[in-house]
Chains A and B, each alone.
Chain A
Amino acid sequence: MQDWHDRQPIYQQLADRLAAQLLDGDPPEGQAMPSVRTLASQYLLNPLTVNRALQALGDEGLLESRRGLGLYVTPGARERLRRSERQRFLQDEWPVLRARLRRLGLGPAQLEWEDAK
């Protein structure tokens, strides 16, 4: 009943969502991740799927396990995420965006960098 897409396995999509939240500091570095049961309930997913997502984040060094306490956000996780997200943007998203800008005839002069109020 959640809106998952069909381009990736569910656990990968959940890992991406949780990573996006970590990038926003939720939860902050050094703090505990919500439990598997909490996440399973929140996203209505089988706990084994949630486990795989957390495992994937652990493999990327974003979460660390503290014995008997569960998973915590690794210090430095946000910077690491920001770096990999930047790289992903430049490699995957920017060429697509650039091609679209060219099709539309938009250059740097037309692009507003300050937030419009």
Chain B
Amino acid sequence: MSTLDATQERRTDHESPASSAGASSPWLVKAQNLTVRYGRKLALDDVSFTLPPGRVVGLLGHNGAGKTTLMRALVGLARPQGQLSVLGRHPVAERVALLTEACYIADVATLPRWARVSELITLMQGLHPRFSAERARALLRRTSVSPGDKVKALSKGMVAQVHLALVASIDARLMILDEPTLGLDVLSRKSFYEMLIDEWCDGQRTVLISTHQVEEIENLLSDVLMLNEGRLVLQASLEDVDRRFVALSHDADAAARIAAAHPLLRYRVQGGSAALFDGPPPDDVLALGRRVRPSLVDLFVALTRTPEMNRTQFDEVTR
């Protein structure tokens, strides 16, 4: 694809969002039966999911659950078995074309230590047809980084900010961010979340983001993917999560009867105990407590802490 084509496409994106992105397919990503093996270990185990446009998708998993492998596969850096289409392309065979419309921040992202920030902007401008140097400079003006700073003189958090600014200045349809807030202080994280909502949630672009700061990002998400030991244990919109999972906060004297109803998880909440159910429990059990909103963290713990049980129980869900 030539630079000219890219510019024209971008223009139509902005003028008529409804008629652009994915006219041929309703999905930005379609993954079927992805499996990645590292030696004897299964990093991804038969993972299938789709990502439509206009979503902010949280990718949650413990360390080693396969989050990074999945993200690398999406940008052609890991070769899974199975079928994978990203923006209608094969991520390995059409990687260069794919990267004009998708961007990726790796969790181990590094920038050349000898370079100045201004040089990185010039470099990106030469490399990427959809990169806006103006936007990168504008984003960096909100931080404490100056264009003349050398990367080696910056703190870890400042490097993360430079990285985010560079990637956020690419007009991409799919953004894949592996732990983008790692090393950022609370103010920088907040300005990242603001950018996510203000600029990236345009109804077209989809952001896939992995993070351990689940509580902070929960309300920014539209969907969640949960990985456990390489397997997808949940793909759901947060609206579905609200509807499907029921948490009951209850007094200690109801504990035995709640436990008898086989909740997914029992946990502590402020001032007492709570139990999480997949689907509403019978009315007599519901009457034992007060319905509360389960947090993504509680749900995540429930779906990932007893893997053997989850495998059988959640195969049904992710199919």
Binding site for B on A (CB under 8 A): 1-2, 4, 6-11, 37, 40-41, 44-49, 52
Contacts and interface: CB of A to CB of B under 8 A. Distances in A.
Contacts of B220: 44-46
Contact of A41 (B194, B216, B239, B290): B194
B56 A7 contact: no
A71 B176 CA distance: 33
A37 B239 CA distance: 19
Given A6-B269, A10-B219, A37-B198, A46 B292 contact: no
A6 B194 contact: no
A7 B293 contact: yes
A50 to B, nearest CB: 10
Contact of A1 (B216, B242, B293): B216
B154 interface: no
Interface of B: 56, 190, 193-194, 197-198, 201, 203, 216, 219-222, 237-239, 242, 247, 269, 290-293, 295
Contacts, number: 54
A98 to B, nearest CB: 21
A47 B134 CA distance: 27
A9 B219 contact: no
User: Taking each of A2, A47, A48, A52, which has the highest tally of chain B beta carbons within 10 Å of its own beta carbon?
Assistant: A48
Contacts of A9: 242, 293
B123 to A, nearest CB: 32
Nearest to B269: A6
B292 A6 contact: yes
B238 A1 contact: no
A2 B219 contact: yes
A1 B201 contact: no
A48 B53 CA distance: 13
Contact of B219 (A4, A6, A41, A52): A4
B292 A7 contact: yes
